[in-house]
A and B are shown apart, each in its own frame.
Chain A
Amino acid sequence: AQSVTQLDSHVSVSEGTPVLLRCNYSSSYSPSLFWYVQHPNKGLQLLLKYTSAATLVKGINGFEAEFKKSETSFHLTKPSAHMSDAAEYFCVVTPGLNYGGSQGNLIFGKGTKLSVKP
């Protein structure tokens, strides 16, 4: 079975300081992992994805995440926060592409709300 745990429900940073959003996963298969962002009253936007290629994944808007199998983690980072980064962030796991089950089953964490102070 697959699951994902976002370790912080709320993270607050000052503009220009680094961002770290933590995510641990559990998967019986080689997983695909994603980070999505949701701005208030908006749908979900894909930030980045890991699908068993390079372990350091670069995404949009300066975000990146590192897949660490030994730690079962996929933390999201950004060197310098911007006010526009304030949003809800979701870590998502799904069985790897070789899994012949329900491919639609994205499993979401509960989300981390990122606040950015001026």
Chain B
Amino acid sequence: ETGVTQSPTHLIKTRGQQVTLRCSSQSGHNTVSWYQQALGQGPQFIFQYYREEENGRGNFPPRFSGLQFPNYSSELNVNALELDDSALYLCASSFYIPAGTDTQYFGPGTRLTVL
């Protein structure tokens, strides 16, 4: 069974640039959720994707967007980067069930630094 993988592991960008982060879900999972973890804080929910559509969103502006592909992998895109976007971005995969979502399993994360 393959776990959740993310790429790249580290990334350095400058303010105003755009970034794309990638996530491959665990085998057998069909749902991907993204979280932002600022230094010293708990992760915060950005959004979730199921059946290639956004299936819930946290309190993040529209410049945070995503995609899910037919193989259930996912991308997180952030436009017009700001210094406060510097964080660890975590992807989690799970299996969607009608009355809720099964346990989420996390990848190792991508560390984004915005200068």
Expressed in whole angstroms, the Cα–Cα distance for A105 and B35 within the complex equals 9
Expressed in whole angstroms, the Cα–Cα distance for A44 and B108 within the complex equals 7
In the complex, residue of chain A having the shortest beta-carbon distance to the beta carbon of B101: A103
Residues of B that sit less than 8 Å from A by CB: 4, 31, 33, 35, 40-45, 47-48, 55-58, 90, 92, 94, 96-97, 99-101, 103-109
23 contacts between A and B (CB under 8 A): A45-B106, A46-B103, A90-B42, A95-B100, A99-B99, A100-B99, A102-B48, A103-B31, A103-B48, A103-B55, A103-B56, A103-B100, A104-B33, A104-B45, A104-B55, A104-B101, A106-B35, A106-B43, A106-B92, A106-B104, A108-B42, A108-B43, A110-B41
Chain A, 78-118, CB within 8 A of any chain B CB? 90, 94-111
**A103 surroundings in chain B (CB, below 8 A):** 31, 48, 55-56, 96, 100-101
**B94 surroundings in chain A (CB, below 8 A):** 104
Tell me the minimal C-beta distance from A42 to chain B in angstroms.
6
Partner of A104, one of B4, B47, B108: B47
In the complex, residue of chain B having the shortest beta-carbon distance to the beta carbon of A97: B100
In the complex, residue of chain A having the shortest beta-carbon distance to the beta carbon of B97: A97
Size bracket, chain A contacts = 20 to 34
Residues of A that sit less than 8 Å from B by CB: 32, 34, 36, 42-46, 49, 90, 94-111
